[in-house]
Chains A and B, each alone.
Chain A
Amino acid sequence: MVTTPEPAEEAVTIFNELARLPASAREALKQKAWRLAALERNRPGDPWVLLARARLSAKLGDAEGLRAVLDRLWPLYPAFDEQQLEFAARHFLLAGMFERVWAVLDQRQETPAYHGQLRLEAALGLGDPVRLQRLADSRADEVGRVRRFLEGMENADLREHLPALATITRQRVGEAFCGFGATLGEDETDAFPQAYLRYLVPWAFDDRFATEQALLQDLRAYAEQNGLTPGAVLEAWLVALMDSREF
């Protein structure tokens, strides 16, 4: 006898299957979308159904759809279980909803070391020196990279400008992205770690390259207007627009 899975279990299954499906598997993704729509009619407001829909939207490069689903998921976060909380935080990060990443994690544990990597990426997305300092002062910064980044920013007189750099970046990138990642990178050639922010957008090379070049002009202009050395700003704040259609 064939048994029908419970709707919530089926949503979890679809959520996991979506992780393995490439964006190019359009027909399979369409079937998942159809099934999720049916599940949602039966279970409106189920976190797993919404999480699966969020993952599907991100996979399809549907930034508007992703944010709409996450707006519906957002009020539910106080009742999330551990897994739902982590996946929700990850999707808020992908959508650039950086404040929400910290909010959902704080709901469970306010210590910065709790999902420190997710918090770091969100703090870099915001260019938030206060949250970065909280991370630097916590066990999340085991190797001292966040501390060295902040010291480097301080020495280059850039620390107070981090929120502006993040805002300029976000304004130039716009709302078309549905993927985001950030790291503090350094090697022996760097005086201090550098922020490297990566946005995934469904644009061809020409559009991404032109937008990055325009952002470069924006950052240079901001540096000049504020008496900063453009080279120092560019060295500290790297932004890449990658093609989400290849993901």
Chain B
Amino acid sequence: MAAETRTAYDVAADLVEGEAEADLRAAASRAYMAGFQHLLRHADGLGFTPENTGRDHGRLKGYLLNSGDPTLEAIGYELDKLRHTRNGADYHIWAPFPEPHARYAVERAHAIIHHLYPAGE
């Protein structure tokens, strides 16, 4: 079934082509989850142990940025920007959310999954 094979990234990539601001906000939100879930799925390789709770958002960011490993820092930096873009999409609803923000989120999720940490490919 399509619903089982589509990833959060696929959903984000589709949504960003939408014209409504709600689509763009949803795209950024899904893009962050795509990057975050990809890293959690391959947490062993990062040396990170998930708690599988909401606290993992902050724990993973802190772990990567303070790892002292330039590669992991770069992944953490991208993930953190993605998180801020997603927060803008989900919570700062009084501020406009223009298309470049949504496209940035989707491209950076792609960068995490395929360039910075292409685990499982």
Contacts and interface: CB of A to CB of B under 8 A. Distances in A.
Interface residues of A, number: 29
A13 interface: no
Contact of A189 (B58, B68, B74, B91): B58
A231 B63 CA distance: 9
Main secondary structure of the interface of A (DSSP, over half): mixed
Interface stretch (A32-40, A107-115, A142-150, A237-245): A237-245
B107 to A, nearest CB: 6
A238 B100 contact: no
A232 B62 CA distance: 9
Interface stretch (B4-12, B37-45, B78-86): B78-86
B103 interface: yes
Interface in B29-75: 55, 57-58, 61-62, 65-68, 70, 73-74
Interface stretch (A84-92, A96-104, A168-176, A180-188): A180-188
Given A230-B73, A231-B73, A247-B99, A240 B85 contact: yes
Given A242-B100, A246-B103, A216 B81 contact: no
- Residue of A189, A220, A229, A230 with most partner-chain B CB within 10 A: A189
Contacts of B80: 194, 234-235, 238
Given A238-B80, A242-B100, A216 B73 contact: yes
B61 A189 contact: yes
Given A209-B111, A230-B73, A235-B65, A243 B103 contact: yes
B87 A187 contact: yes
Interface of B: 55, 57-58, 61-62, 65-68, 70, 73-74, 76-77, 80-81, 83-85, 87-88, 91-92, 98-101, 103-104, 107, 111, 115
A5 B103 CA distance: 40
Given A205-B107, A234-B65, A247 B77 contact: no
B65 A213 contact: no
A50 to B, nearest CB: 24
A231 B66 contact: yes
Given A235-B62, A243-B103, 17 more contacts: A185-B87, A187-B83, A187-B87, A189-B58, A189-B61, A189-B83, A190-B58, A209-B111, A230-B68, A231-B62, A231-B66, A234-B65, A238-B81, A238-B84, A240-B81, A243-B104, A246-B103
Interface of A: 183, 185, 187-190, 194, 196, 198, 200, 205, 209, 213, 216-217, 220, 229-232, 234-235, 238, 240, 242-244, 246-247
Contacts of A235: 61-62, 65, 80
- Residue of B66, B77, B81 with most partner-chain A CB within 10 A: B77
Contacts of B99: 246-247
A188 B91 CA distance: 13
Given A196-B81, A238-B80, A231 B67 contact: yes
Contacts of B57: 189
A224 B67 CA distance: 14
A3 to B, nearest CB: 35
Nearest to B82: A240
Contacts of A185: 84, 87-88
